[in-house]
Amino acid sequence: MALNGVLRPGHIQLRMLDLEEGVAFYRDVLGLEETGRDDQGRVYLKTWDERDHHSVILREADESGMDFIGYKVSSEAVLDQLEKAVQEWGLETRRLPAGELMETGERVRFTIPTGHQFELFATKTLVGNSVGQSNPKPWHPDADRGIAPLRFDHALLYGPNVNDVLDLFTNVLGFWLTEYVTLPDTDVKGALWLSCSNKAHDIAFVEHPNPDRFHHAAFLLESWEKVLRAAQIMAVNDVPVDMGPTQHGITRGGTIYAWDPSGNRFETFQGGTAPYPDWGPVAWTWDGLGEGGGLDVSKRILHESFLTVVT
């Protein structure tokens, strides 16, 4: 499919209770590469196979959670068009200047109905991946340092007004609905998986009474074997695990959910469906979510911590 408009997840800024502890975790255990630090005290990182300067930004704070998430669009003209469309939909936007984030151009930020800070940008310095663009090797010698994901893949966010988010993302930002879960005894969509490509999802939302809650950031691995290797690395480093290794029924992805040292949940994710928009969304009922293995194919249960613990 031709990719235009919103291309992909671009970056996420997370709050660390102890910045250097967080940096050590994301660099040495998760296996990201540190690419810079700015005068605001923020630390920038990327996976070994990403081309953009960074995808993860860490800053120190008194509470954990997510500050904002940004998605890359195909051009500056598209950025202008989407800014206008978001305003016409009814949201206020503001322009953040080029350079406010290291190696990043102007960003358009707005608060979506779930209360999260969401932004779009068109320009970020391309630093390349670790193997280069000409006659590349299949992997980098340091690609096995830590869990070593390929990319920052998606995020799951909790908040109210999920169906307003569905309208905004599908009718304004150009995403499409791949899967959803209806709330108990209703036809109301309470959980959404949305894609701007033909990935299983590029972002997901779950209805929650409190706004601006962060569930997890997901990092893509090549194979189920890499997910099992991630489990071994987590065990060696005493990383607390929430769920997995297992497979989802939703998206069919292989997965482990665990917590970083500040209590932010992260996912190591593999596989998943590769749907197309004309297929239409897969529908799950609340009962089917547990009985059908929507979250956990092997145990066929709804994990209480997965459903309730957010930052």
Residues 108 and 207 placed together within one structural domain of the fold: no
Domain range spanning residue 20? 6-121
Split into its structural domains, the chain has a count of: 2
Dihedrals phi, psi of 100, to nearest 5 degrees: -60, -40
Query: Considering the domain boundaries, does residue 30 fall inside one?
Result: yes
Q: DSSP state, 49?
A: T
E strand map for 65-163: 65-73, 94-96, 107-111, 117-121, 151-159
What pLDDT shows up at residue 292?
58
Separation between Cα atoms, residue 308 and residue 291, nearest integer Å: 19
Beta 282-284 vs 265-271: how paired, if at all?
unpaired
Dihedrals phi, psi of 221, to nearest 5 degrees: -115, 160
Separation between Cα atoms, residue 229 and residue 31, nearest integer Å: 13
pLDDT digits (tens, 9 = 90+) for 227-246: 999 999 999 999 999 998 98
Separation between Cα atoms, residue 290 and residue 287, nearest integer Å: 6
pLDDT digits (tens, 9 = 90+) for 213-230: 999 999 999 999 999 999
Residues 158 and 93 placed together within one structural domain of the fold: no
The domain boundary residue, chosen from 121, 143, 160: 121
What pLDDT shows up at residue 1?
45
Strand 203-207: give its sheet, edge to edge: 241-247, 253-259, 265-271, 213-221, 151-159, 203-207, 189-195, 176-182, 282-284
What pLDDT shows up at residue 131?
80
Separation between Cα atoms, residue 215 and residue 55, nearest integer Å: 17
Give the distance, in angstroms, between the CA of residue 203 and the centroid of all CA atoms in the same chain. Answer: 6
What pLDDT shows up at residue 293?
65
Amino acid at 257: Y
As to burial, measured by CB atoms within 10 angstroms (0-12 exposed, 13-18 middle, 19+ buried), residue 170 is middle
What pLDDT shows up at residue 232?
97
The domain boundary residue, chosen from 121, 143, 172: 121
In this prediction, the residues of the chain whose per-residue pLDDT falls under 50 are 1
Residues 279 and 171 placed together within one structural domain of the fold: yes
Residue linked to tokens 């940004």 = 70
What pLDDT shows up at residue 291?
63
The domain boundary residue, chosen from 103, 121, 139: 121
Query: Considering the domain boundaries, does residue 135 fall inside one?
Result: no
> Mean pLDDT across the chain, nearest whole number?
92
Query: Considering the domain boundaries, does residue 142 fall inside one?
Result: no
Which domain CATH number covers 58?
3.10.180.10
Residues 159 and 56 placed together within one structural domain of the fold: no
pTM, two decimals, is 0.95
What pLDDT shows up at residue 129?
84
Separation between Cα atoms, residue 249 and residue 229, nearest integer Å: 22
The answer to whether 3 and 198 have CB atoms below 8 angstroms apart is no
As to burial, measured by CB atoms within 10 angstroms (0-12 exposed, 13-18 middle, 19+ buried), residue 180 is buried
- Residues involved in catalysis: 154, 201, 216, 248, 257, 267
Residues 188 and 281 placed together within one structural domain of the fold: yes
